[in-house]
Amino acid sequence: MSLHINNISKSFKDLKAVKHISLEVKENELFGLIGPDGAGKTTLFRILASLLLPDEGSANVAGFDVIKDYKKLRKNIGYMPGKFSLYQDLTVEENLNFFATIFDTNIEENYDLIKDIYIQIEPFKKRKAGDLSGGMKQKLALSCALIHKPKVLFLDEPTTGVDPVSRKEFWDMLKKLQKKDITIFVSTPYMDEAALCDRIAFINQGEILQVDTPSAIVKNFAKEVINIRTNSIYKSLQVLGKYQYTHSNYPFGESLHYMDSRDDFDPNEIKKHLEDEGIEDVEVQLITPEIEDIFMELSRE
């Protein structure tokens, strides 16, 4: 086991940020912590990176206890905070050199590890980090977090504020890194990124809702999800909100998703109900639930 979290809790004044979380992450796994803002992701990351002390419970990262062995632990992890935290007034190259130096290494030594990433920002190596675009900043931050070849890499919302193309590139890079003997623990508020992880844990209001592979989570989901398109999503949401069999309904892109409270039902019944209420162009379709549907459902409970 690369990461072993046992019953961790942490409060800030009245706010219970993390409640009795237990998790295990395997060696070389790409593990995703999925949850909305304020779910407790950053707090959990900081505890695992030995930056915060938990109120109770224990955690073990790469064989080191986060409380007792924090000095050894810090040599063996790479940590990329959610906020861009490199030196904006230093150039790309100076930032990388600095982090290599304070980790007792140099760029050449672990160049093969960061090569794929660094090569993309190398043309801008004389540019100040503050002048980079969001995507390039993330690549630089990742290079800096990797420069000492950590055993475990903590990435706290690495793709927040990054454009869709860079986000995809970023995940491709993570997949490659994983093969280089690095365990990656990543958090994201984007549900579509969950499918790219080996295993995911849903977190909401400081609690873990479910842990499994993305496909198993989808497969084991008991409810049926109906995708509904109409001429007015807003009105349809209001109508379905009052419908007696509605379990849940929420906007999803340009359509809305609906779950029924009955185990067995005919989707055409819902179509008919909407049309009776004066809504036009109604199309209903039974779909495979997406991660977001499952998260919405789990968060309700």
Nearer to other proteins, 121 or 279 (CB): 121
Nearer to other proteins, 85 or 133 (CB): 85
Query: Based on CB atoms, which residue is closest to other proteins, 58 or 97?
Result: 97
| Least gap, CB of 53 to other proteins (angstroms) | 6
Pair 117, 173: CB distance under 8 Å: yes
Give the integer Cα–Cα distance in Å for 301 and 297.
7
Cβ at position 290, least distance to other proteins in Å: 33
For residues 131 and 275, which CB has a smaller minimum distance to other proteins in the complex?
131
- Are residues 239 and 233 in contact, defined by beta-carbon separation less than 8 angstroms? no
Give long-range contacts, CB 8 A cutoff, 24+ apart: 125-132.
125/91, 125/92, 125/93, 126/91, 126/92, 126/93, 127/91, 127/92, 128/88, 128/89, 128/90, 128/91, 128/92, 129/86, 129/87, 129/88, 129/89, 129/90, 129/91, 129/92, 129/95, 130/88, 130/89, 132/92
Q: Residue 33 CB, nearest distance to other proteins (Å)?
A: 18
SS3 state at 265: coil
Segments in the chain forming alpha helices (H):
41-48, 70-76, 92-102, 111-121, 134-146, 164-178, 214-219, 233-242, 267-276, 291-300
CB of 65 to other proteins, least distance (A): 14
In the complex with other proteins, the residue whose CB is nearer, 89 or 275, is: 89
CB closer to other proteins out of 10 and 257: 10
Output the smallest distance, CB 123 to other proteins, in A: 21
CB 258 within 8 Å of CB 240 = yes
Nearer to other proteins, 71 or 179 (CB): 71
- For residue 298, give both structure tokens: 């789990």
Query: What is the 8-class DSSP label of residue 190?
Result: -
**Nearer of residues 32 and 81 to other proteins, judged by Cβ:** 81
Strand pairing report for 77-80 and 246-252? unpaired
Least distance in angstroms from the C-beta of 143 to other proteins: 13
Beta carbon of residue 52, minimum distance to other proteins (angstroms, whole number): 6
**Minimum gap (Å) between residue 174 Cβ and other proteins:** 19
Identify whether the C-beta of residue 133 lies closer than 8 Å to the C-beta of residue 141. no
Question: Roughly what angle, to the nearest 10 degrees, separates helices 134-146 and 111-121?
Answer: 160
Q: Which parts of this chain interact with other proteins (CB under 8 A)?
A: 46, 49-53, 70-71, 74-75, 77, 79, 81, 83-90, 94, 97-99, 101-104, 144
Residue 83: CB atoms within 10 A of its CB come to: 11
